[in-house]
Amino acid sequence: MALDTIDAEYRAAIFPACPFGPLPAEGEDDQWEQIYFLFGQAMLWAQSYEDGMAKLVIAAEARWQRSGIPAEEINQKALGQLQKEYARYCHLEPHHHERMAEVRKTRNRIAHSFYRRRMAQLQTAEGRTQVIRELHGAIHQFQIERDEMYWLLSALTGQPR
């Protein structure tokens, strides 16, 4: 499959030292398609985790009124702020804090300058394979954390997810 103009322009913006890039090798297009798809999936699952945490904090605040923060404001909080609010309502062991920090770190590595930080990796087939593995791992991590948030929300509210 040949690159279309938009894709070529996008790559030129990411890799300015190689404005048109080399001709794609056999299977390279498949790697790029996987990376684009997996990036979107990783961000979807990361946002689902954030959404679950926000809903849990809102439900906990409605039940225990510990912070006095309205639901609208909780929904506007960034992940790190949500995690701090979440800690108000739960007894967390040190490994829980470490796990939340790791999820936030993974999310930030993907959400902020994903392509720019991986420029060197993305220029080789082996590097793209590593990026694909990284994205698969992030998706799995976010799925587990998201499921836990919704399980806890279900336990708190008594309603199925």
Count of the separate structural domains present in the chain:
1
How many Cβ atoms sit within 10 Å of the Cβ of residue 42? 25
Q: Give the tens place of pLDDT for each residue, 49-91.
A: 999 999 999 999 999 988 899 999 999 999 999 999 999 888 8
Q: Is residue 141 part of a domain?
A: yes
Q: Is residue 12 part of a domain?
A: no
Contact 110, 46 (CB under 8 A): yes
pTM for the full predicted model: 0.79
Q: Give the tens place of pLDDT for each residue, 109-144.
A: 999 989 999 999 999 999 999 999 999 999 999 999
Segments forming the whole domain that contains residue 122:
28-157
Q: Is residue 1 part of a domain?
A: no
Q: Is residue 104 part of a domain?
A: yes
Contact 79, 104 (CB under 8 A): yes
Q: Is residue 51 part of a domain?
A: yes
Q: Is residue 16 part of a domain?
A: no
**Distance between CA atoms of residues 25 and 32, nearest Å:** 11
